[in-house]
Amino acid sequence: MSSKSATASLLRWPVLFARFVKLEHSVFALPFAYAGAFFAFNRIPGFTRLLWITVAMVGARSLAMALNRIIDYEIDARNPRTAGRELPAGKLTLDQAAAFSALSLAVLAVALYQLPPLTWYLSPIAIAAFVFYPYTKRFTSLCHVFLGATIGLAPVGAWVAVTYHLAWQPFLLMGVVTFWIGGFDIIYACMDLDFDRREGIHSLPASIGVGKSLLVTKLFHVLAVVLLVAVGMARHLGIIYYVGVAVVAVLLAYENAIVTSRDLSRVGMAFMTMNGVISVVYIAFVTADLLAR
């Protein structure tokens, strides 16, 4: 075997599992976890603490996504849009996916062991949410809110990892993430409207149509911006932070503008590109505001 072939063989599994859990989508939640840690004392924590928060976040998100893929395996196999995913396409077996889930849980456990004990004690709540969320689309059109709230646990966990206690302030950030992600998940669900209705899958677009659902998304994103302002007021942040909130508001407005009930061709751009930019822009302004003090 040539060295090039050996390298390709060695990288096959990491690349395959990274695609399986859409590792690049970690950019959505990780910056808000950092924000939760930064706001705990209105300063940037030490490198070691941030490192373990990052490892915990990657492990938690990988576990959540793997469980989602396993639980939705049969649904994904019937949906033409998702039939090419690793499990329904046969690139991974259910046993391999389960083993990856166990590994992700182990990574999360190791990271939490390096953080305050309260993060360990509260972790079953997050893990229960990871298991529960995939089932919500089977009985409620509010599944998008459940997704947002599940990911919104990230800044709460990061706050606890820094302060060693639970408080009300990080729940404002949880609300931001809940409405932000819930909103763009509604946009994403518009692509599966016909399939969801045919299969009896619950989603807001399937229940009330694309047009009304996109109005709900706009409302959710307005609420997210309002809560961003509330975060700034609660933590006594400066003008740089509020400039960042204004930039995020403009980006959210653009995201909503490029997707209409008559044109869903740019859903992919709204989902991945714009939301990745929004989360990075937000944490950049948060960091700049704290460093300027």
Q: What per-residue confidence (pLDDT) applies to 279?
A: 93
Whether 70 has a pLDDT exceeding 60, the answer reads yes
The residue whose two tokens read 């009896």 is: 200
Whether 249 has a pLDDT exceeding 70, the answer reads yes
DSSP three-state, residue 260: strand
Q: What per-residue confidence (pLDDT) applies to 7?
A: 54
60 to each of 3, 69, 203, how far by Cα in Å?
Answer: 34, 14, 25
pLDDT digits (tens, 9 = 90+) for 262-287: 877 777 766 677 888 899 999 999 99
Domains, the chain, in order of start with CATH, read: 23-291 (1.10.357.140)
How far is the first Cα of the chain from the last one, in angstroms, to the nearest whole number?
A: 57
* Gap between the Cα atoms of 104 and 275, Å rounded: 25
Nearest to 214 by CA among 175, 172, 257: 257
Q: What per-residue confidence (pLDDT) applies to 253?
A: 94
Whether 177 has a pLDDT exceeding 70, the answer reads yes
* Gap between the Cα atoms of 115 and 37, Å rounded: 12
What is the band of 13 on the pLDDT scale with cuts at 50, 70, 90? confident
What is the band of 22 on the pLDDT scale with cuts at 50, 70, 90? confident
DSSP 190: G
271 to each of 52, 112, 184, 186, 232, how far by Cα in Å?
Answer: 28, 30, 6, 10, 26
Residues of the chain with pLDDT > 90, as a percent, come to 78
Whether 246 has a pLDDT exceeding 60, the answer reads yes
Whether 260 has a pLDDT exceeding 90, the answer reads no
What is the band of 258 on the pLDDT scale with cuts at 50, 70, 90? confident
Long-range contacts of 277-282 (CB under 8 A, 24+ apart): 277/251, 278/180, 278/248, 278/251, 278/252, 279/27, 279/28, 279/29, 279/30, 279/31, 279/32, 280/27, 280/31, 281/244, 281/247, 281/248, 281/251, 282/31, 282/32, 282/35, 282/228, 282/244, 282/248
* Gap between the Cα atoms of 7 and 100, Å rounded: 21
Q: What per-residue confidence (pLDDT) applies to 8?
A: 53
289 to each of 160, 228, 236, how far by Cα in Å?
Answer: 22, 14, 11
Long-range contacts of 272-278 (CB under 8 A, 24+ apart): 272/24, 272/25, 275/28, 275/180, 275/184, 276/24, 276/27, 276/28, 277/251, 278/180, 278/248, 278/251, 278/252
pLDDT digits (tens, 9 = 90+) for 114-159: 999 999 999 999 999 999 999 999 999 999 999 999 999 999 999 9
DSSP 91: S
> H-helix or E-strand containing 197?
helix 193-199
* Gap between the Cα atoms of 213 and 98, Å rounded: 34
* Gap between the Cα atoms of 78 and 68, Å rounded: 16
Q: What per-residue confidence (pLDDT) applies to 293?
A: 79
Q: What per-residue confidence (pLDDT) applies to 211?
A: 94
pLDDT digits (tens, 9 = 90+) for 178-222: 999 999 999 989 989 999 999 999 999 999 999 999 999 999 999
What is the band of 2 on the pLDDT scale with cuts at 50, 70, 90? low
Residues of the chain with pLDDT > 70, as a percent, come to 95
- Among 69-73, 76-80, 265-269, name the one with the lowest average pLDDT: 265-269
